[in-house]
């Protein structure tokens, strides 16, 4: 009623924006009430009454709120509520509201409804050495955008009335408007911000930083109310630093603050390389955090070798790869696959089973046994907690099982080869491999085997009496650099 009276007196639809908080409150209240009624297993009966209940307020939100995300939340609640109050029936109200919203979206200005999802818009750009990082968001929040490094000068032309190009200053809050306006904030080249990080965390395994700085982004009002958020990197085609690099396979990574490691993962968002604009764009659900731009190491090394004419280096690298593939004499290297039984030979033929890794590293199971056997490993979320004062180095644990028990004279090991990123983030001498104690639901590191740190191979190795069990890779919190 407050909203109806306030907006009805003046007859201006834009006044609905002033009651954004009330709309959110109604949606939140509706969810609570419907959840309570579902838990009680009941719905309101069909009775005539003057009490508006919650269906009409939600319906009002769905047709009058000027924020599409809140409108859709209200419609979704009405559709799934199976609820009736007097003559108001939730599913029917949802269908009417959906129809009205559809008509409104059809009448949006050209280009306003697709990329932006019909939401209010905001965008910001943070930039760095060989290009520019752009942060695009749709929402009503005022954002503090802080970035590291330097930016390529320039700005995009305004494509439609719903887009603005703004000039940004590093380390300074940039106010973003609402009203379905996309805003791109571009920072000048060679600018240095107050939150600059010239020594960011190490790149993920297999990648190198495209430029030395990372980008810290902070939305002052959070990212929850935004319907579109992009972290983009516009590459300067004229930069000599990108010659020979595989830019098309570049990645945008986010820093994991717990491990101080940049993560490259599809879970961060949808990555796209726009060749015509020489741009990497990552659509994310939350742009807050520290971001880095990376290219594959293989491509970077190839470019460096080509630039220096270092044919010998290329040949040496190829020889090293061939030697690694062949393995040491008397050993058999096997490519492991999770959830699959892998046969191991008899007669004490040492077998190293190396499993597919992630940003943290690779699990390796070593078997040197008198009798043939088979080993299976299932990776997944750890079933228990780390010991007090420890963190998981790898977010997954490894459940190992053997077809038959190993003999006391057999040598079996659980090894973990950690990545360069881990090496840069922790004191590796303090790493440990733990086994789950089912009784306490906690991984233990004492009494499970003979542990060894192999610095040259960047490996943690645990010789165990029995491979069977759930294993995790651990590091003391105090060892995180």
Q: Does the pLDDT value for residue 399 go beyond 80?
A: yes
> What whole-number percentage of the chain has pLDDT above 90?
29
Which of 154, 63, 163 is CA-nearest to residue 103? 63
| Choice among 84-93, 120-129, 222-231 with the minimum mean pLDDT | 120-129
Tokens of 384: 């228990």
CA 146: distance to chain centroid? 19
pLDDT digits (tens, 9 = 90+) for 182-239: 777 666 543 333 334 667 788 888 888 887 778 888 887 777 767 778 888 887 777 7
Tokens of 42: 């009941």
Please state which CATH number belongs to domain 327-479.
Answer: 2.60.220
Using pLDDT thresholds of 50, 70 and 90, give the confidence band for residue 175.
confident
| Choice among 234-243, 388-397, 440-449, 469-478 with the minimum mean pLDDT | 234-243
Query: In the predicted model, what is the mean pLDDT of residues 281-287?
Result: 87
pLDDT of the residue at 193: 35
Using pLDDT thresholds of 50, 70 and 90, give the confidence band for residue 48.
very low
Residues 6+ apart with CB under 8 A from 205: 357, 359, 360, 361, 419, 420, 421
| Cut 0.75: pTM above it | no
Tell me the C-alpha distance between 166 and 161, whole Å. 14
Give the domain ranges of the chain: 2-106, 122-300, 327-479
pLDDT digits (tens, 9 = 90+) for 376-390: 999 999 999 999 999
Q: Does the pLDDT value for residue 47 go beyond 60?
A: no
Counting Cβ atoms within 10 Å, is residue 406 exposed (0-12), middle (13-18) or buried (19+)? buried
pLDDT of the residue at 455: 93
Q: Does the pLDDT value for residue 79 go beyond 60?
A: yes
pLDDT of the residue at 23: 63
pLDDT of the residue at 158: 42
DSSP string of 427-465? Answer: -GGG-EEEEEETTTTEEE-SSS-EEEEETTTTEEEEEES
Query: In the predicted model, what is the mean pLDDT of residues 326-353?
Result: 84
| Choice among 9-18, 228-237, 325-334 with the minimum mean pLDDT | 9-18
pLDDT of the residue at 371: 94
pLDDT of the residue at 326: 41
pLDDT digits (tens, 9 = 90+) for 261-279: 888 888 888 999 988 888 8
Tokens of 369: 């046994």
Higher pLDDT, 468 or 123: 468
Using pLDDT thresholds of 50, 70 and 90, give the confidence band for residue 110.
very low
Higher pLDDT, 256 or 239: 256
Using pLDDT thresholds of 50, 70 and 90, give the confidence band for residue 346.
very high
Query: In the predicted model, what is the mean pLDDT of residues 28-46?
Result: 58
Using pLDDT thresholds of 50, 70 and 90, give the confidence band for residue 374.
very high
pLDDT of the residue at 432: 97
Higher pLDDT, 10 or 105: 105
> What whole-number percentage of the chain has pLDDT above 70?
61
Query: Interhelix angle for 55-64 vs 90-106, to 10°?
Result: 10
Query: In the predicted model, what is the mean pLDDT of residues 341-365?
Result: 93
Q: Does the pLDDT value for residue 329 go beyond 50?
A: no
């Amino acid at each position: 009623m407050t909203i109806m009276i306030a907006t009805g007196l003046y007859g201006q639809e834009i006044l609905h924006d002033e009651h954004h908080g009330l709309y959110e409150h109604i949606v939140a209240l509706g969810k609570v009430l419907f959840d309570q009624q579902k838990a009680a297993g009941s719905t309101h009966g069909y009775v005539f009454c003057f009490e508006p209940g919650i269906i009409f307020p939600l319906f009002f939100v769905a047709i009058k709120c000027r924020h599409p995300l809140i409108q859709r939340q209200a419609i979704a609640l009405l559709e799934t509520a199976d609820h009736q109050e007097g003559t108001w029936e939730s599913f029917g109200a949802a269908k009417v509201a959906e129809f009205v919203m559809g008509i409104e979206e059809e009448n949006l200005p050209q280009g306003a409804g697709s990329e932006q999802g019909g939401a209010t818009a905001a965008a910001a750009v943070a930039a760095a050495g060989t290009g520019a990082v752009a942060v695009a968001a749709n929402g009503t929040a005022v954002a503090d955008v802080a970035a590291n490094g330097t930016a390529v000068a320039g700005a995009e032309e305004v494509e439609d009335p719903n887009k603005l190009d703004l000039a940004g200053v590093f380390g300074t809050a940039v106010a973003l408007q609402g009203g379905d306006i996309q805003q791109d904030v571009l920072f000048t080249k060679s600018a240095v911000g107050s939150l600059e990080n010239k020594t960011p965390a190490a790149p993920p395994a297999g990648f190198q930083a495209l430029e030395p700085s990372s980008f810290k982004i902070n939305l002052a009002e959070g990212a929850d109310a935004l319907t579109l958020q992009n972290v983009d990197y516009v590459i300067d085609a004229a930069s000599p630093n990108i010659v020979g690099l595989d830019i098309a396979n570049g990645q945008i990574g986010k820093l994991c603050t717990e491990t101080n490691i940049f993560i490259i993962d599809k879970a961060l968002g949808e990555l796209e390389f726009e060749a015509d604009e020489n741009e990497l764009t990552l659509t994310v659900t939350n742009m807050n955090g520290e971001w880095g731009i990376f290219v594959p190491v293989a491509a970077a090394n190839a470019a460096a070798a080509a630039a220096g004419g270092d044919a010998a280096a290329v040949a040496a690298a190829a020889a090293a790869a061939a030697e690694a593939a062949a393995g040491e004499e008397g050993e058999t290297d096997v490519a492991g696959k999770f959830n699959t039984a892998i046969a191991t030979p008899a007669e004490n033929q040492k077998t190293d089973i190396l499993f597919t890794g992630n940003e943290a590293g690779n699990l390796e199971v070593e078997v040197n046994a008198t009798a043939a056997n088979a080993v299976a490993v299932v990776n997944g979320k750890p079933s228990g907690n780390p010991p007090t004062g420890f963190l998981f180095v790898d977010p997954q644990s490894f459940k190992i099982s053997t077809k038959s028990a190993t003999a006391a004279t057999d040598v079996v090991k659980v090894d973990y080869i950690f990545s360069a990123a881990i090496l840069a983030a922790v004191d590796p001498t303090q790493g440990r491999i733990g086994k789950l104690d089912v009784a306490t639901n906690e991984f233990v590191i004492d009494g499970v085997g003979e542990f060894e740190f192999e610095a040259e191979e960047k490996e943690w190795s645990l010789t165990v009496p029995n491979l069977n069990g759930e294993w995790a890779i651990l590091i003391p919190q105090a060892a995180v650099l």
